Amino acid sequence: MTDHPLDQPLDHLLVESGGAESGPACERFVGDAVRLLQDGHRVVLFLVENGVTAAVPGASPRVATFLRDGGELWVDTFSAAQRALPAEDLLPGSRLADMDEVADRLLEPRLRAVWH
């Protein structure tokens, strides 16, 4: 007997556009990403627009937890540049990514995406 395909862990792409200064919703959303990791899913958290500020050390405790727990943190290259945030000012383990990479991920068959 084989496992049902929906019983297998999925890949998730969570997109945060608000950032820590937008209030507690960002931290709750990142908390969802942490829980998905803890449940065995592969998770990419993509920070875009004002969300990129959550990748600054000390700005979001849950983003640091997300990285520590094995999540992939992508920071939008354009949004970071617009906010004068070079890669060296971001959390260790995060990486700059372009929308082309996000678009490619969205085409993967077992990916679930949520934009916040």
The per-residue DSSP string of 45-89 comes to: EEE-GGGGGGGSTTS-HHHHHHHHTT-EEEEEHHHHHHTT--GGG
Model confidence, pTM: 0.87
Question: For 2-6, 95-99, 104-108, which range has the lowest pLDDT when averaged over its residues?
Answer: 2-6
The confidence score (pLDDT) of residue 21 equals: 75
Question: For 7-11, 92-96, 103-107, which range has the lowest pLDDT when averaged over its residues?
Answer: 7-11
Q: Calculate the CA dihedral of residues 75, 78, 81, 83 and round it to 10 degrees.
A: -80
Structure-block tokens of residue 24: 């507690």
Q: In this model, does residue 49 exceed pLDDT 90?
A: yes
Strand, coil or helix: 99: helix
Cα 110 from Cα 77, distance rounded (Å): 25
Cα 54 from Cα 16, distance rounded (Å): 9
The confidence score (pLDDT) of residue 93 equals: 94
